[in-house]
Structure 1
């Protein structure tokens, strides 16, 4: 069986074309086949199949994937069918490369390299014969058009190379037809015309070769207003000399773009030719005989442009790394915040490589091992920016020889050079010519040329520091009517003479202060206070709260700071400060603002995150208890979140800032903010599978509540910690945390708190398949909630006992407990409790074979969970509902329920998606028995 992409998208079996289905289904097949053997995420599939995805696109995609699995199985009976499987990171078409014409074409090109002319020609001829017309014929959209353009370029390169090889072998007649046809289709592709000219001349048709040149020159002049390229002109002259050249061409595989994390290249990048050449030479020399990852270290002083150089060069060589590019900012010299822990950076990279959060090992050494395993057979470019020392960067080095790591640091990272054989590249200050180039690029060559003395003064005062030059140029660019001499005079007045004394870092403050003094008083105050922000960036409402300002004035001040290049709006509504500027802002606020003003600003910022997060958490989980009951202090501007989607988006955008805010609260001595923020974060971190982060914030909350001597909140934080450990399958640690909570509640005489811990211990026992312990904790839960008189807890405990009896197949007793629970929950209006109980009752009816009753119960549970916004349990019930529909013979209804469950589990990054996908992949109704419980 073969899959064709280099023409109409087809499945071919036994020399016949198999109908691959409607156009969009063929589009899905084309995307998967083009990336055969590599995972394609659901988001990538949706983006590549639909330029503007309709509502329900994910559900439609699941239908196409299911149909394609069956189609591939029918097209290649006898076990020879390729597998369409779900793996970590996305869907994978597991098929031998030679069975996809595109991949076979690329393989033949690769195999041709380094062989004799005759062998190369034969291999390239075989590759060209795979083409059957326009690739991806009939498929619309941006992805298909981009692929067509890229593949056509590769095809034309291969055609020209093959033609030149045949000419060297004396077979001019063999290439005339294909080249003439190609020139007719692509009349402006000059290498084709040059190859045809050589072939015509070798075939004794020199007059036709010269006519071909004349026609090309005429077309270029008429349509592009251009002359033929030097290659074509040299071919023409060689023909006139009766000495046609034998040019060889290099055929390259197009670069892959997943992951593609490189930041945007610097607009107007100038100079650095020597450093760029050294980087490229190091890369070129790292291929043959390499036994370790190539590591390059860019080191230099702050503000010298290391990051800009690294990103620019990475963009230049990205096509040499077909498996993608990774990027992380380790914030190693961030003076107003903690550097990123290397273990956290490894988790970020694992996520980019397709590992769900819950699949990341909690132990740093295990996570690093997984990271290196994933890169073992890939060619990936990894940019590690702003490393503090070798120890911080070392865990990010893969073991694969095909990868390259580019590290930037203010330190020379001698440890990496000595131990890992890293190649150092020093990034120095700009010379006068390079400085003038930067100013000319930013301000325009005529303006710079008109005032040479002022330019020389600016260059001298900035002492070759690119960051200082950029700040000056930005200010001058915003005042095009001002002469440059005015800026030179202001720099001179700022006493930048020390820049020439060899310490540019110390006196770049003078450049910043010059820009700072142009700010309005309100903008200057906001800039100073931004130095107190703990994270890598800040959203506009958080900045407004920090300064105690309404939204409108805050936006205007942020725009003023952006225009002055003191902050960068790197995403709409989110602002970033270069670490030197953040350090400068922190120094300013320490020297200009009182301790009380700074403390008030920090507390407003913490209130912003706390009150916005509290609302967001309730929107995501409406049944949860509020973490804070007092209003925010004056001047705080919580974000106006209105629905669950907005709340989830906010948690995603502010994830790093919220984690940093908990640490800021501890450092600021605001332990109450620390444990309240931890309570806000606990639910979202749990629902999103960010359990290592939940461990970290729970531990901070435990420390804070101990200092405050608030044992009730300490017990709650211990429960958070237990939940995170349980999800990470660190069951002994989870039990220890729960036991600590239990002891605290016992000392407090909090019977309800003890009951809640026993409920958690029962769930933990179920995970460990300790059925007797599960039953004991469930009974304790009911007894303690009854003693406490807490009716919602009684209802949930009754359901828990019903679930225990259901797992033990004691269905009559299970229903007795569950119906008691349901009656109480309906009286109390406990929607979450009712949903869980209906799910338990549905489970009993399902295993009794009472499918209609089970469906009714599951649909009731589903409606309640949806009202509560509990997506995990919504997906859980959908999976159960699908099982019941399948047992009842309703396969279409089962697939619909499973598809929705899979989508939600995928959105949550939960590993249960795999189990649901296994159901979707298996068309046969196989009943899964309940666990072997007592």
Structure 2
């Protein structure tokens, strides 16, 4: 209206206004505070952890679909990449957390003068928009307020470096799609009861380690140029991302340095951890392991150092039984292993979906580079305590290996009988193996440790134990063709036996016989092996020429001599040797030795072209084994196991001979029976041979489908044992495939 008074005010800073008539105010819309995002960016290349990432991503989906708060606990030794994985998840799924991301590094708080949970909670509340006057006093009330504020906001809370359950519980968000992501250098079992899903991290695989190194642009060319050295570098660093980054930084600053040079230095006498720290210019890895060990009680520390006797030599896996032996108490060992696991120094396999392995085959493993650190602790242990631990290690291996030998091959003539010990390695103890194949599987798992345990035994003057250990490895060498391992062990023991005047000459002779048999098995692929076998056999005969038990030794050496003659195509000489060996066994009242030589005679006669005699000898061998088993139904389990294995070998040989004679119908049941038995016993090479026999029977019957099934199985078994026969069968399968292709 005309003459009216009119005032306007714009802005959001409103003071007292006096107006007689109309007032028009233009106030700005309050600005919304964006959700906080405190989680740091990770500017280094992230690799691997695909399975863990996939599961974490699924956990985010489950939490937000179900509306419940979730919790994930990432554990592992320092430098393994826990924080990197957490940050990777945060960056990848940032859009799924509309309420933002909160972050606290509890280790950093501790380093700066003490951890104040209450203070961290106050900062979180402030970041979420809670006014300072509305933040309650005390950690408990602030924790409750934090849960109230985060209800239905979908917040990601990342807590780095947690040490206890109470620290973590203070930061649990409210319901409504939030996730609490925790990293810790140790296990926090109480959080599992709270519903946390645990992700245990170990070192990177070789390919992923290489990818991490190539993230450093100045290193890429050298990594790509030398893949073998790069793979060795990743292994030397235990796949530990921290160690690999230290090496990458060194290579970046030293353009002239090669990857191979670094690998050589890490393999030096000083040890890998000191070498990597030298590249870092400070004790970064040492500090990681010192911190982990600081959580151990005395018993766990003792076990850690004891296990380091082998861990420091590169044996990363160990049996819980070894831990029992080192501490002398299964209960204490279980608790100590759990403490090592909680400190992320040892991994204990999680139960899988399939059947659990037998107790004798369960394995624990050091985490990345922890084996080296344990080795350092072993070397720092006082002399008397260390000597006791080393002796316990040797005694456990000797006793368990002797059981494994008998479990796999039954009663046989052993060199250990000549040095005053009973069959089971001087001190029988309870039999740890439930089934015959368990012994072979245990030898296979523990085989890499044998050279080191034998070295410890010799250093401690335990010569008899060393002989028992080495001889007990024979079933693995013979049945699964671990020739290189057997050669390494036997060469060392032969030097011991020939250089120790207190060692009976028959010990060296029998060890040389084992070594000759490895040479014979390699004669078809390696030049000079047959002559080396004969040299070992000549030296063995010379060693026992004047021994009172020379005739007993002769039966064993004649078997080796026969195998050498057979490898050289000298069938008549081989047959004479086996016939003489059988006569000696019969004269000595050794029925198993006589049955074994009869079986070998039958097998040899077929190869020599005398199938009729082969059939007669093999039928006699089958009768001998059947008669013994029938007459000894109450014999010990292991004694019967050995005879049953021999009987299955006879059946396989019979199938072959019957096929030569054209009686495929009679051969087939023997082949089927031998195949099934060898599979149950874990006799992979013998099963492969039986599968080949069945393949030939199927081919002769015109059944191409079954031929392919049997031959493929044989090929796979040979390949699993790294035998060249696999390549030959692969060619046959490919040739048939090409022939049948339209």
Is 1:428 aligned to residue 428 of structure 2?
no
> How far apart are 1:763 and its partner, in Å?
2.0
Aligned mate of 1:543, from 303, 323, 336: 323
Q: Partner residue of 2:331?
A: 552
Output one character per residue of 1:742-771: Cα deviation in whole Å (capped at 9) or x when no partner.
Answer: 334443334343222222222222223233
Query: Aligned equivalents of 2:265 and 2:375: distance in 1?
Result: 17
Query: Aligned equivalents of 1:887 and 1:298: distance in 2?
Result: 49
> How far apart are 1:575 and its partner, in Å?
3.2
> How far apart are 1:695 and its partner, in Å?
1.0
1:166-185 to structure 2, matched below 5 A, reads none
Query: Aligned equivalents of 2:238 and 2:569: distance in 1?
Result: 57
Q: Partner residue of 1:522?
A: 299
Q: Partner residue of 2:285?
A: 467
Output one character per residue of 1:291-323: Cα deviation in whole Å (capped at 9) or x when no partner.
Answer: x88979999xxx99996555348999xxxxxxx
Query: Aligned equivalents of 2:684 and 2:237: distance in 1?
Result: 48
Output one character per residue of 1:380-422: Cα deviation in whole Å (capped at 9) or x when no partner.
Answer: x9889764589999xxxxxxxxxxxxx979679xxxxxxxxxx
Change (3 A) 1:618 1:315: farther
Aligned mate of 2:657, from 838, 844, 847: 844
Output one character per residue of 1:887-907: Cα deviation in whole Å (capped at 9) or x when no partner.
Answer: 233333433332333333233
Query: Aligned equivalents of 2:656 and 2:238: distance in 1?
Result: 62
- Aligned pairs, how many? 491
Q: Partner residue of 1:673?
A: 465
Question: 8 Å contact 2:237–2:244 — kept in the other structure?
Answer: no
> How far apart are 1:698 and its partner, in Å?
0.8
Change (3 A) 1:696 1:891: same
Change (3 A) 1:802 1:387: same
Aligned mate of 1:280, from 202, 214, 217: 217
Is 1:614 aligned to residue 402 of structure 2?
yes
1:391-790 to structure 2, matched below 5 A, reads 427-429=279-281, 464-470=282-288, 515=294, 519-533=296-310, 535=313, 536-537=315-316, 538-549=318-329, 551-561=330-340, 563=342, 567-569=345-347, 573-575=364-366, 577=370, 579-580=372-373, 582-590=375-383, 595=384, 597-622=385-410, 629=422, 640-644=432-436, 646-706=438-498, 707=500, 708-729=502-523, 730-748=529-547, 749-790=549-590
SS of residue matched to 2:654? helix
Unpaired runs of at least 5, structure 1: 1-50, 52-141, 143-187, 189-223, 226-259, 270-275, 317-380, 394-406, 413-424, 430-463, 475-511, 927-934
RMSD: 5.0
Output one character per residue of 1:223-265: Cα deviation in whole Å (capped at 9) or x when no partner.
Answer: x99xxxxxxxxxxxxxxxxxxxxxxxxxxxxxxxxxx843987
Is 1:824 aligned to residue 624 of structure 2?
yes
Query: Aligned equivalents of 2:683 and 2:602: distance in 1?
Result: 21
> How far apart are 1:468 and its partner, in Å?
4.8
Q: Partner residue of 1:873?
A: 686
Length-normalised TM-score, structure 2: 0.55
Change (3 A) 1:530 1:843: closer
Output one character per residue of 1:326-359: Cα deviation in whole Å (capped at 9) or x when no partner.
Answer: xxxxxxxxxxxxxxxxxxxxxxxxxxxxxxxxxx
Change (3 A) 1:523 1:770: same
Change (3 A) 1:649 1:776: closer
Output one character per residue of 1:521-556: Cα deviation in whole Å (capped at 9) or x when no partner.
Answer: 43344345445446433443312311212x232122
Q: Partner residue of 1:311?
A: 244
Output one character per residue of 1:412-456: Cα deviation in whole Å (capped at 9) or x when no partner.
Answer: 9xxxxxxxxxxxx97233xxxxxxxxxxxxxxxxxxxxxxxxxxx
Query: Aligned equivalents of 1:684 and 1:616: distance in 2?
Result: 10
Question: 8 Å contact 1:751–1:788 — kept in the other structure?
Answer: no
Question: 8 Å contact 1:726–1:734 — kept in the other structure?
Answer: yes
Change (3 A) 1:305 1:802: closer
Question: 8 Å contact 1:307–1:408 — kept in the other structure?
Answer: no
> How far apart are 1:625 and its partner, in Å?
6.2
Query: Aligned equivalents of 2:273 and 2:304: distance in 1?
Result: 26
Change (3 A) 1:392 1:821: same
Aligned mate of 1:892, from 680, 701, 705: 705
Question: 8 Å contact 2:222–2:259 — kept in the other structure?
Answer: no
Q: Partner residue of 1:854?
A: 667
Query: Aligned equivalents of 2:371 and 2:473: distance in 1?
Result: 28
Query: Aligned equivalents of 2:336 and 2:590: distance in 1?
Result: 52
Change (3 A) 1:894 1:698: same
Question: 8 Å contact 2:273–2:285 — kept in the other structure?
Answer: no
Length-normalised TM-score, structure 1: 0.45
Unpaired runs of at least 5, structure 2: 1-50, 55-94, 96-153, 156-203, 250-257, 350-362, 524-528, 630-642
